[in-house]
Amino acid sequence: MNDIRNIGFIAHIDAGKTTVTERVLFLSGLTHKIGDVDDGTTVMDFMDQERERGITIQSAAATSMWRDHRVNIIDTPGHVDFTAEVERSLRVLDGGVVVFDAVSGVQSQTETVWRQADRYGVPRICFVNKMDRTGANFERVVEMIRDRLNANPVPLQMPMGSDSDFQGVIDLLEEKALIYPDQSVEADEVPIPEQFREEYLDYRNAMIEKVAETDDALSIKYLEGEDITTDELRSALRRSTINNRLVPVLCGTALRTKGIQPLLDAVIYYLPSPLDVPHIKGIHPKKGEEVVIEASEDEPFSALAFKVVTDPYTGRLVYLRVYSGKIQSGSTVFNVTKGQKERMGRILRMFAGRREEMDDLRAGDIAATIGLKNTFTGDTLTLESNQILLESIRFPQPVISMAIEPKSQAERDKLTDALVKLGEEDPTFVMKFDKETGQTIIAGMGELHLEVLVERLKREFTVQANVGRPRVSYREAITSFTRAEGRFVRQSGGRGQYGHVVLEVEPRERGEGFLFEDKIVGGKIPKEYISSVQAGIKDCLENGVLGGYVVIDVKATLVDGSYHEVDSSEMAFKIAGSLGMREALKRANPILLEPMMSVEVVTPSEFLGEILGDLSGRRSQIGNMEIQGDIQVVSAFTPLSEMFGYATDTRSITQGRASYTMEFDHYEPVPSSLVEKVVRE
């Protein structure tokens, strides 16, 4: 397994991830023609919508070979609406390549994906792309990585020139220059040009000092002025990268295929194999004890499902990352999450839109399988005789919703079936039926997310549907402590219903969620009814008292109550719990919360006034303003309800020259003057 690398390309939208990936596939011999995002000929962006829009929507997997190593590559989306694709990919990858735009440097979504990688402890190398663009500045990007991402970057290359003068790179370890002649993908190795020698020596000394700091033996050598060999530096750098102490930085321009071979070499040299990463930990499903899984083919089989795709030709594909053992196609596996057996049909190695059949899956592999009918994202597969439950994948909650209905009654079942399949693929896409309005509501991470899903309904599932305008997913919360009683008594001849509870309800800090506590003493309510009370409270929290929105961050304590030996039942106590909670919500000064988006606008300086004025009119809280040459970067928190149509407005006030990104950040109370309007709508 030393010869396997499971890596992902991650970055802000438009940093050039897919272009880098396409060059990697071409140079490693997987493709014979370089795919182009602008021409819609990419291998990794194989969906029609991806090619039309020029963005990555789904993470795509491909396997290539480089220097006798198998490199499993996942290209992830950069747009924040598809952040679930990044989340699920990072959960199963061993290493990441973070791509930066040499002009823009660290952007908002870069910070998001960096934090996601931090959470999963994924070692990274950085590639500063687009060095041939006007305004490219390698040193500034390295500084931004240090300051804004709290990382410890160590450049392994320095660029020779920038903008239109970018000729190639100087390798600080190998002490050579790589110059790329026009129209050539192969570099000429030449001695370091004299005009760059002084700068090169500064860069090399800084690199040696930084690497030596991470290794005691090298530190002594460095302090005593002894020579440190390239192999010693490379070994220490590999250890430091895998331990997340250092982040190697390389540069180039993917569009001109400059700097891609050294990037591939760096993936092999510095990113971990499945054997190098810490052993995966799981939980024994029956004993609840922690179990350590060793990455070895000799261990019992264990794998995590991280993606489900509905394929028009082969049906339901489940992507797996195998952590230990091996399994043959056609074998029976055990879904520990669901507690049931599944038969694994064909196994496919994916080359983005293409695939190749495999006989078996082994530790370290990333592949897709056909035949797993009840396995979903985040499920653990093992052998029934050796069950382990791996940590699942966490996904953010949807913040925007819209109503959807079929254009004809005949298409109703077809629409429901298609929505269920899309929900299986995308854990951030939620479908629910609103009993009060009789509407089907779909919810997602943003306008683009829902727009893409509705378009997929039409194209892939041939379902024609009407959609309402997007709506904000508000939340409700309480602001004070209260005590309330819930009593459900029905007597209509024969056996009746009796449930009686007393609850104490109080607010929790934002983000702490729901907590239930049982303080019943003396058997006032029998133990078997306590879980029913909790279920009733949870049901009530699904529909708040202000506008029917979900209630968050509440603690409910069951302190008293009574029961009837004959008439009491689980149902009666569930209803009593719900009635008591509803009464408590009314008394506890409920408030309405709205999702606040972290917005970053990049605009030419001449339009700064218009941008600030427009944001202020949208109830924004302006944060940082940063100058990058003649470009201004404005950060703000803005209510999602005020951001509909922002793309069009921004284009019109800046003559199409500004761009923006936004992502959900937190919930804040809706101003009292707007609560009535929101509830009425």
Domain match, 296 and 184 both: no
The model's confidence at residue 18, banded by pLDDT at 50, 70 and 90, is confident
CA distance linking residue 296 with residue 292, whole number of Å: 12
Among 473, 502, 522, which residue terminates a domain? 473
pLDDT at 40: 47
Query: Are 581 and 620 within one domain?
Result: no
Q: Which of 368, 390, 412 is the last residue of a domain?
A: 390
pLDDT at position 1, please? 65
In this prediction, residue 80 carries a pLDDT of 55
**Do residues 240 and 371 both lie within one domain?**
no
Q: Same structural domain for residues 97 and 217?
A: yes
Which pLDDT score is estimated for 645?
79
* pLDDT for residue 493: 64
Residue 73 lies inside a defined structural domain of this protein: yes
Where does residue 491 rank: exposed (0-12), middle (13-18), buried (19+ CB within 10 A)? exposed
For residues 240 and 136, state if they share a domain: yes
197 and 65 housed in the same domain:
yes
For residue range 320-370, list pLDDT tens digits in order.
Answer: 888 888 888 888 899 888 888 888 888 888 765 567 888 888 888 888 888
Cα(524)–Cα(560) distance, integer angstroms: 7
Cβ neighbours, 10 Å, residue 400: 23
Query: Pairing between strand 354-358 and 302-311?
Result: unpaired
Per-residue pLDDT reduced to its tens digit, 214-247: 888 888 888 888 888 889 999 999 999 999 999 9
165 with 204, same domain?
Answer: yes
- pLDDT given at position 325: 87
pLDDT-derived band at 464, boundaries 50, 70, 90: confident
Same domain (yes/no): 84, 178: yes
For residue 154, pLDDT beyond 70: yes
Predicted confidence (pLDDT) per residue in 81-94, tens digit: 566 667 767 778 88
pLDDT band at 557 (very low <50, low <70, confident <90, very high): very high
Query: Which domain range does residue 364 map to?
Result: 280-390
| Cβ-Cβ contacts under 8 Å for 553 (sequence gap 6 or more) | 477, 507, 508, 509, 510, 511, 512, 513, 514
* Residue 323: CATH number of its domain: 2.40.30.10
Determine the pLDDT at residue 657. Answer: 75
291: phi > 0 → left, psi -120 to 50 → alpha, else beta; which? beta
Q: Structural domain tally of the chain? A: 5
Strand-strand pairing, 69-75 and 4-11: parallel
Mind listing the pLDDT tens digit for each residue in 373-423? 888 888 889 888 888 888 777 777 777 778 888 887 778 888 888 888 888
At residue 450, does pLDDT exceed 70? yes
Over the stretch 48-71, which tens digit does the pLDDT of each residue have? Answer: 544 444 444 455 677 778 888 888
In terms of domains, do 115 and 261 share one?
yes
pLDDT at 47: 47
Do 89 and 208 lie in one domain? The reply is yes
* Residues 27 and 120 grouped into a single domain: yes
Give yes or no: residues 228 and 335 share one domain. Answer: no
Segment 641-650, tens digit of pLDDT:
888 878 778 8
Distance (Å, whole) CA 438 – CA 196: 70
Whole-angstrom distance, CA of residue 499 vs CA of residue 567: 8
pLDDT tens, residue by residue, 110-150: 877 887 788 888 899 999 999 988 888 999 999 999 988 88
